[in-house]
Structure 1
Amino acid sequence: MDAPVIELQRAGKVFVSSDGAKTTALDGIDLAIGRHEFVALIGPSGCGKSTLLRLVAGLLPVTSGQVSIYRQPVTEPRDEIGIVFQRPTLLPWLSVLDNVAFPVKLKTGRVDAGTRERARELVRMVGLAEFEDRLPEELSGGMQQRVGIARSLLHDPDILLMDEPFSALDALTRDEMSLELLRILRDSPKTVVFVTHSIPEALLLADKIVVMQSRPGRVREVIAVPFPRPRSLDTLMDPRFNRMANDIRAQVFTRRTGT
């Protein structure tokens, strides 16, 4: 078996408030994620899903244990990681194309012809070629999130971390964006860690689902998703899909309430 791309070994995170009070957000997380594997994190609010993502991203240090990427401890943000947040945080005065190219301008102070062409290719990939000169306010929420995804892919990262990227969208747009993400990853495979509160979304997208418990956040179960790829709207109509979603929902609810 190949070595995991991402590995958490007894990883924990404790936050200390200004008055010295301690809150254990994560405790004893063991998790291994393989190359080009899509892993969804689900669980109740406050279970540490987003904190876990930030540990992997190098945006937060671990308090205990270790987080590794390619067997190297994570101590700071790394170039092989792209991040997509809940909201795309686009710069309102820049065009779609310039927003996608912005990370390079921020890092180097300039955007060369090669970077601009790469940004243009990504805008085409996410289906926004005719909107590359538009400002963010001229786009729908789903279109803005596509721009955010394109921007995260600018430096062709090996790993994509996504923190509830579709949560602000309506149900139909959310399904559309999930299918769009599957298409993008088919054309440009990545190792993905995806935080969501939506069990159907996790089942549609992921190879495995990590179910977490709260107070403190721990991994309770890792569930392999049995549906073959490529997936489509037909996957959502599979009777097994709804049964599995209901089973996972019951498990999460039972663990949350302690019944």
Structure 2
Amino acid sequence: MERLTVDVVRGQARQPLVRDLSLAIRPGEMLALVGESGSGKSITAGAVLGLLPSSLRIGEGRIRFRGEEISAWPDKRKRRLRGKEIALVFQDYQGSFTPFMKVGKQLVEAVRSHVRITYGEAKELALHWLNEVDLPAERVFGSYPFQLSGGQRQRAALAAAMLLQPKLLIADEPTTALDVLTGERVLDLMTKLRRQTGCAILFISHDLRLVLKRADTVAVMQGGRIVECGRADTMRRQAAHPYTRLLLESRPLLLRDPGTGRAAEPDKPLQLVP
């Protein structure tokens, strides 16, 4: 993305919601876009996918994917890109699957809508990816979504996103609706799949703890703008922008490093504060 602006259109008036945004994600990299609700994170993802609501428009800037400028592509061409080259994992795992169709049928249809293969080949591919996300593949393939737990549905959604080995995976708050342990497991699987396939991940989150622990690069968004962008390890210790420092300071600090008495880093030995 280069100097991207997204406007809300009301009649003849246009008001920018995302302003002058520039980001680049390399193959195999996880870039986290972090900020409070309403900062423009999901709008940015929608612009990349070509899924903005009818009231929003890209005003200025460019979105380049694998060397091509895609923001001006017609909807039909963008649909061919979604799912095959760019995939999405939603925040709401309950909305990832149609409730009245078995998971396996939906996975097979997703594959065959992009690639000309037989039903048997598509089923084999679906079972492979269900196995990759540590699910009992045959049982999940033959289950309706309501027969799975929330964590299982989110992992099945991750399998669906990875079916065609996309070059870019957009994970929009993928753990918000899950408990902590299940969320960590989903993120572990995302990391594993990224290493296996070399896909880039745009990880959207409001949870700075997860961002600093998982991402290679962090972009902090406030009021529709990127206010700071840098390596996660550097930002954890040397955040430059006041808003980033405010986000860091707002993290719960219930633990201390036993050696220094200071608030501990996420990867250091911890002990409870007396």
The CA distance in 2 between the partners of 1:98 and 1:109, in whole Å, is 16
- Residues 43 and 213 (structure 1), Cα distance of their counterparts in 2 relative to 1, 3 Å cut: same
Checking the alignment, whether the CA contact within 8 Å between 1:44 and 1:252 is kept in structure 2 is no
Q: How many residues align?
A: 231
Alpha-carbon displacement from aligned partner over 1:35-70 (angstroms, at most 9, x marks no partner): 211101001111110111111122245211111112
Match 2:132 to one of 125, 134, 156: 125
Checking the alignment, whether the CA contact within 8 Å between 2:47 and 2:58 is kept in structure 1 is yes
Is 1:211 aligned to 2:216, yes or no? no
Match 1:49 to one of 38, 41, 56: 41
Checking the alignment, whether the CA contact within 8 Å between 2:228 and 2:244 is kept in structure 1 is no
Secondary structure of the 2:184 match is helix
Counterpart in the other structure of 2:65: 69
Checking the alignment, whether the CA contact within 8 Å between 1:50 and 1:163 is kept in structure 2 is yes
Checking the alignment, whether the CA contact within 8 Å between 2:104 and 2:141 is kept in structure 1 is yes
Q: Please say which structure displays the higher CA radius of gyration.
A: 2
Is 1:12 aligned to 2:21, yes or no? no
Deviation at 1:225, TM superposition (A): 2.2
* Unmatched tracts of structure 2, length 5 or more: 250-274
The CA distance in 2 between the partners of 1:21 and 1:62, in whole Å, is 14
> What amino acid is the match of 1:220?
V
Counterpart in the other structure of 1:230: none
- Residues 105 and 34 (structure 1), Cα distance of their counterparts in 2 relative to 1, 3 Å cut: closer
Alpha-carbon displacement from aligned partner over 1:188-209 (angstroms, at most 9, x marks no partner): 2211111111111112221101
Q: Which moved more, 1:192-201 or 1:81-90?
A: 81-90
Match 1:102 to one of 85, 109, 112: 109
Checking the alignment, whether the CA contact within 8 Å between 1:11 and 1:27 is kept in structure 2 is yes
Counterpart in the other structure of 1:178: 187
> What amino acid is the match of 2:14?
K
Secondary structure of the 1:203 match is helix
Match 1:145 to one of 143, 150, 154: 154
The CA distance in 1 between the partners of 2:204 and 2:31, in whole Å, is 9
> What amino acid is the match of 1:204?
K
* Unmatched tracts of structure 1, length 5 or more: 1-7, 228-239, 255-259
Identity %, equivalent residues: 29
The CA distance in 2 between the partners of 1:190 and 1:126, in whole Å, is 16
What TM-score do you get using the length of structure 1 for normalisation?
0.79
Counterpart in the other structure of 2:86: 81
Deviation at 1:132, TM superposition (A): 2.4
The CA distance in 2 between the partners of 1:186 and 1:109, in whole Å, is 27
Is 1:251 aligned to 2:254, yes or no? no
Secondary structure of the 1:220 match is strand
Deviation at 1:111, TM superposition (A): 5.7
Alpha-carbon displacement from aligned partner over 1:44-98 (angstroms, at most 9, x marks no partner): 1111101111111222452111111122111342241111111242122222322
Alpha-carbon displacement from aligned partner over 1:89-115 (angstroms, at most 9, x marks no partner): 212222232232232355689962211
Checking the alignment, whether the CA contact within 8 Å between 1:123 and 1:147 is kept in structure 2 is yes
Deviation at 1:164, TM superposition (A): 0.8
Secondary structure of the 1:62 match is strand
Checking the alignment, whether the CA contact within 8 Å between 2:194 and 2:201 is kept in structure 1 is no
Deviation at 1:166, TM superposition (A): 1.2
Match 2:22 to one of 12, 30, 36: 30
The CA distance in 1 between the partners of 2:114 and 2:66, in whole Å, is 24
Deviation at 1:118, TM superposition (A): 0.7
- Residues 36 and 105 (structure 1), Cα distance of their counterparts in 2 relative to 1, 3 Å cut: same
What TM-score do you get using the length of structure 2 for normalisation?
0.75
